[in-house]
Amino acid sequence: MTTNALPVQTQPPPKTQAQLIYEQQQRAQRQFTLSVGISWGILFLLLGFLFSGVQFTLGPLSLKTIRVDMTFVREWAPFIAEGASTTIGISALSILLATLLALLAALGRLSRIPAVYAVSTFYVSLIRGTPLFLQVIFFFLALPQLGIILPGLWAGVLALGLNYGAYMSEIFRAGILSVSKGQREAALALGMTYDQMMRRVILPQALRFAIPPTGNEFIAMLKDSALVSATGFVHEILWRAQKVGRSNFRNLEALIIAAVFYWVMTLVFTALQARLEKYMARGDR
């Protein structure tokens, strides 16, 4: 055995088969991601071309793309964009209300007390059995007849919150049921009451489970909040787009601007959501 080897140029050790296969898989994955990215780019260009206003003839074929009034866009885009904060605000308030209601409804649905169970299932059934749009205008148009006048914003938040709460109660119910029976038994065996078990053991675990799907609901809410524009008093994105579109006879342009803002918001929040999910999934199991 030689202990004092001469300093030789160290060569990287030959790659193992596992490494080679792994690298091959990585390459394939990168290739796929790149191709998808390029295809998205092409689709964007096509969409842009569709609205470019270019006209040309190819022999007998005459092509005419949609013309967008860019002066209008430049003039009014900032006004419509200002509605984004209202859209996000309504959605955030509504999701807060919805989360609270969903949690109560889920607990009610799991209750052994008949009245509590009934109230919970009744609420969910009523809300899910009627259109969201009807609910939004109901709170704004029907309640004043009973002497209850809600500002448009609050009517909207109430309607959206009640509606999403009913749908989201399933998320919370699933979250609570996802906590194993063993956790309940451990809590009970330690002498906890039902309330203590729920608050200290079951709900903390159930809420972790429910956070990513709640994020998804928020993204859906961003778009459904557009229904509140029907009240005419909440100056969110769609309301603004309709207002300037109608008064200038530029509905096409106005609605395209609104669509772009909704889409961008969705993309941004979806990216945030993906991060959140990654973060919530770390460790565990």
Partner 1 sequence: MTPIVKLTHLDKYFGRLHVLKDISLEVQPQEVVCLIGRSGSGKSTLLRCINFLEEPSAGTVEVDGLAVPAGVRGQTHNQMVHDIRIRTGMVFQEFNLFPHLSVMENIVEAPVIVKGMPKAQAVALGEKFLGKVGLLHKRDEYPNRLSGGQKQRVAIARALAMEPKVMLFDEPTSALDPELIGEVLEVMKQLAREGTTMVVVTHEMSFANEVANRVIYMDEGQIVEQGPPERIFTAPSDLRTQQFLDRVLVKDVMLLLQKDSPQNRTS
Binding-site ranges for partner 1 (CB under 8 A): 180, 182-183, 185-193, 196, 200-201, 204-205, 208, 283-285
Cβ closer to partner 1: 82 or 185?
A: 185
Q: Where are the beta strands (DSSP E) in 51-137?
A: 55-58, 61-64
* HEC-encoded secondary structure of 108-132: HHCCCCHHHHHHHHHHHHHHHCCCH
- Look-up: residue for tokens 């030689």? 2
CB of 115 to partner 1, least distance (A): 18
Best CA proximity match to 99, nearest among 161, 178, 155: 161
CB of 218 to partner 1, least distance (A): 23
Instruction: Count CB neighbours of 212 within 10 A.
Output: 17
CA distance 1 to 90: 76
CB of 178 to partner 1, least distance (A): 12
CA 256 vs CA 6, 17, 36, 234, 245: distances in Å = 72, 53, 25, 20, 10
CB of 208 to partner 1, least distance (A): 7
CA distance 278 to 238: 32
CB of 119 to partner 1, least distance (A): 23
CA 6 vs CA 14, 24, 184: distances in Å = 21, 36, 66
Cβ closer to partner 1: 60 or 182?
A: 182
Total residues belonging to the chain? 285
CB of 227 to partner 1, least distance (A): 37
